[in-house]
Amino acid sequence: MPGTEAPSHPRIQRLSPLVASQIAAGEVVERPASIVKELVENSIDAGATRIIAELEHGGIELVRIIDDGHGIAESDLAMAVAAHATSKIRTTADLDSIATLGFRGEALASIASVSRLSIRSRTAGSDGAFVLELEGLDGTAVRPASGPIGTIVSARNLFFNTPARRKFLRTVPTELERCTDSFRAIALAHPHIGFRAEADGRTLLDVPKDQSPRERVLAILGKELGPQLFEVSADEFDDTRGVAIWGMAGHPEIARASARSQHLFINGRCIRDRTVQHAVAEAYRGLIEPGRYPTIVLHIEMHPGAVDVNVHPSKAEVRFRDSGVVHSAVTRSIRSALAKQDLTPLLNFVRPIPTPVVETLRLPLELPGSGRPGNRGPAPSPGGNSAFSDFFTRPASPPQQRFDYAAIKSSLDAGAVGSGGLTGVPVAPVMPLPEPLSRILQVHKSYLVTQDEQGVVIIDQHALHERAMFEYLLARVLDGGLETQHLLTPVPIPATARQIERLEDLAPLLARIGIQAEPGGPVSVLCRGFPTFLFDRNVDPVEFLSGLLEKAESDAFMSDLASGSEEALRDVLDMMSCKAAVKAGDRMSESELTALVRLREDVERSSNCPHGRPTSVRLTIRELEKLFHRS
């Protein structure tokens, strides 16, 4: 029959609003935790001072958020759930300075399309509340009800009308955990708001309003972490860029195997951002073993125009106008917070409270023109941020010891001389030794046992020496480069064609560390000059350069180098210090022991070797008292 024949091509039709909305919801509502986040953010935007979450069945059967915010007027209720309807922005220009958490006008519409939504709300000017109930976008008429000022939004039976998506939900405990994570993250960012969460009638979290940021962090992460969380703040930045940083950085000891212990915020918004994550990792470099993540709560505040939050549907990712500024501010502020602490891991059986000790000295920071950030003592609170003023209640710092760079340098330089084959242990004590260091015991030619004001310190001789060497080398390189020892007879190093080819790109790095090398034929590189530092310590040029050329085979290494990041340099200095440092099994003289232990006090990050392993552990007097049942 002509006329009723099926067309040979599919016809184009407009989707129904429900289907369109369900598709859009795919981006915003992935699981119950996304609903928690969207609804709680709405409550915060509404100026709530107290927010309660009620969850049933991991949030799958019910997410209810109750707030005491300004509410939604009766006449606005229907509009609140319409697609692309918002009270937070009006024009394109508003997108450049978003000061609210929401602005896309999508959340309620999306949630309504995939769950049974009900909103009960009352504004200050109204005698009673009004309720709107929806099922798959079909709504009842708005009807009056009783209720206090504020809003109660309930989303039931998530994905009841999209069974395919319901299948992607995980188990109830997993979904519940994600809901709690979302809620906790938001609570961390808003210490002035009270939060309570209940799951199936059980209270999971309850924090009062008007807490200080520090109180809030401890309430959420656990009070017992208090002594191991150090305040981070930065207000030394250029006003025009307006970056302020505050938060708490965890002791390397409380690093975790997952990134869940990292809480990063931009302008009160919880984010996952590679720039910031990388900057945090960089700050902890050498203090934490690879594959672990520091525990940290970090708030970055900046002009809303300097960060684009409209690049991700749930706004978990952002784009910075100048990510370099953010990166260096984050790294610097955390490094300086950590540098103020003695990070020696405690040998503890019940975790005692570490007392803040003498400021560690920052060798590279003290160098003129080193390009590293200066340290100007404890940082004051970020300007103009009165909510955080009580955050910074740091006790007065003890007087800072001066770091005698020249003395350390000469003691290190003197190290190889007369040390009977021992590699590079500084011989001459730099200053008269303080009493606590007077007796040092070398155990099994590998560990040093000594005491300090807090108790017994056990040191891994190789790890500590390696760390000291590393800081020394880094400072020297940043200060202009390492000296070269010219070799009378050039030393041939076996090399692959690829390694020889990359020699040219390696040249700037080699120059900085005092190596002169050139292609020496199809299968070798000729080494004409070797760092005096390594030469003096009897490090074999063939072994060292082979290791370096091997690194050059990695594309990641070469691209790090090309990008001018410090990473490749640090990597090579790691290798240098490891080779030059005293080994486990090396016997050391009394004066060498003393000089090495001294380094512990004088070198930044002496608590860990460059690979992040501890260089020393401490057994406190309190622990000893406990062990011997004296207390």
Return residues touching ligand ADP (CB under 6 A).
38, 42-43, 46, 67, 69-72, 80, 85-88, 102-109, 151
CA distance 58 to 523: 63
Residue of this chain nearest to ligand ADP (CB atom):
102
- Cα–Cα distance list, 165 to 27, 138, 591, 609 (Å): 12, 20, 70, 48
- Binding partner at 460 among Mg ion, ligand ADP, none, C-beta below 5 to 8 Å by kind: none
Specify the residue, 117 or 346, whose C-beta has the smaller distance to ligand ADP: 117
Q: Does 102 bind Mg ion (CB under 5 A)?
A: yes
Specify the residue, 88 or 622, whose C-beta has the smaller distance to Mg ion: 88
Stretch that binds Mg ion, among 15-23, 103-111, 160-168, 434-442 (CB under 5 A): 103-111
* Contacts with 12 (C-beta within 8 Å, 6 or more apart), sequence order: none
- Binding partner at 116 among ligand ADP, Mg ion, none, C-beta below 5 to 8 Å by kind: none
Q: Does 343 bind Mg ion (CB under 5 A)?
A: no
Six-digit token string for 600: 């512990």
Stretch that binds Mg ion, among 6-14, 63-71, 100-108, 229-237 (CB under 5 A): 100-108
Specify the residue, 106 or 342, whose C-beta has the smaller distance to Mg ion: 106
- Binding partner at 105 among ligand ADP, Mg ion, none, C-beta below 5 to 8 Å by kind: ligand ADP
Stretch that binds Mg ion, among 40-48, 178-186, 187-195, 282-290 (CB under 5 A): 40-48
Shortest Å distance, C-beta 305 to ligand ADP:
19
Options 98, 107, 179, 229; binder of Mg ion; rule CB under 5 A: 107
Specify the residue, 39 or 248, whose C-beta has the smaller distance to ligand ADP: 39
Specify the residue, 43 or 411, whose C-beta has the smaller distance to Mg ion: 43
Specify the residue, 126 or 212, whose C-beta has the smaller distance to ligand ADP: 126
- Cα–Cα distance list, 574 to 118, 410, 518, 578, 615 (Å): 60, 21, 23, 6, 14
Question: According to CB under 5 A, which residues from 41 to 70 bind Mg ion?
Answer: 42
CA distance 486 to 466: 25
Shortest Å distance, C-beta 102 to Mg ion:
3
**Amino acid identity for residue 48 in this structure:** A
Whether the CB-CB separation of 575 and 546 falls below 8 Å is answered with: no
Length of the chain: 631
Shortest Å distance, C-beta 68 to ligand ADP:
10
Tell me, by CB under 5 A, how many residues bind Mg ion: 3
Shortest Å distance, C-beta 573 to ligand ADP:
49
Six-digit token string for 358: 């003498």
Specify the residue, 109 or 188, whose C-beta has the smaller distance to ligand ADP: 109
Q: Which residue has the tokens 């002035």?
A: 192
Secondary structure of 113-149 as H, E, C letters: HHCEEEEEEECCCCCCEEEEEEECCEECCCEEECCCC
Specify the residue, 91 or 386, whose C-beta has the smaller distance to ligand ADP: 91
CA distance 253 to 614: 10
Residue-wise DSSP of 185-201: HHHHH-TTSEEEEEETT
Six-digit token string for 7: 């067309």
- Binding partner at 46 among Mg ion, ligand ADP, none, C-beta below 5 to 8 Å by kind: ligand ADP
Shortest Å distance, C-beta 273 to ligand ADP:
21
CB atoms within 10 A of CB 508: 11
Shortest Å distance, C-beta 115 to Mg ion:
15
CA distance 586 to 423: 9
CA distance 79 to 88: 13
Specify the residue, 87 or 389, whose C-beta has the smaller distance to ligand ADP: 87
Shortest Å distance, C-beta 204 to ligand ADP:
21
CA distance 187 to 196: 9
Q: DSSP class of residue 239?
A: T
Specify the residue, 43 or 154, whose C-beta has the smaller distance to ligand ADP: 43
Q: DSSP 3-state assignment of 416? A: coil
Burial of residue 325, with CB atoms counted within 10 A of its CB: 0-12 exposed, 13-18 middle, 19 or more buried: middle
Shortest Å distance, C-beta 41 to Mg ion:
6
Count of helix runs (H) and strand runs (E) in the chain: 19, 23
- Binding partner at 71 among Mg ion, ligand ADP, none, C-beta below 5 to 8 Å by kind: ligand ADP
Sign of the Cα torsion 605, 233, 288, 353 reads positive
- Binding partner at 388 among Mg ion, ligand ADP, none, C-beta below 5 to 8 Å by kind: none
Q: List residues near Mg ion by CB under 5 A.
A: 42, 102, 107
